[in-house]
Amino acid sequence: MSHDYKQLAADLGATLADFRKEIPETMKGFGQMSRAAHADAALSNKTKELIAMAIGIANRCQGCLAFHAKALVDLGCSRAEFMEMLQVAVYMGGGPSLMTAAEALQAYEQFGGETAA
């Protein structure tokens, strides 16, 4: 199934904005956790985003594919790095992860990631 990942990210982003108004303490806590998890430390933010994308693939989370693909493109993730992460995600998750990995690549490309030569 093909998705418009840019539109999906926009739609989910709008709903999450509503969450920030209606359940502000939960969203504040989640935001704090996100900032702490993504801070450069022993692992770079890009490495952490690659891990997050692999977990999104394993969990077949379409929203995760959209948000993490955009983040990876913004962080300068190369196609080679992205494809290597897909290898690990497929290895760990088997056939279902292979299908979601293909969708993740679509998301990466939709956000401006490198396309195949």
Mean per-residue pLDDT of the chain:
95
Domain ranges of the chain: 5-110
Distance CA 19, CA 78 (A): 33
Q: What is the pTM of this model?
A: 0.91
Dump pLDDT digits (tens) for 49-83: 999 999 999 999 999 999 999 999 999 999 999 99
What is the per-residue burial (b if ≥16 Cβ within 10 Å, else e) of 25-34?
eebeeeeeee
Structural fold of domain 5-110: AhpD-like (1.20.1290)
Give tens-digit pLDDT for 81-94. Answer: 999 999 999 999 99
pLDDT score recorded for residue 1: 56
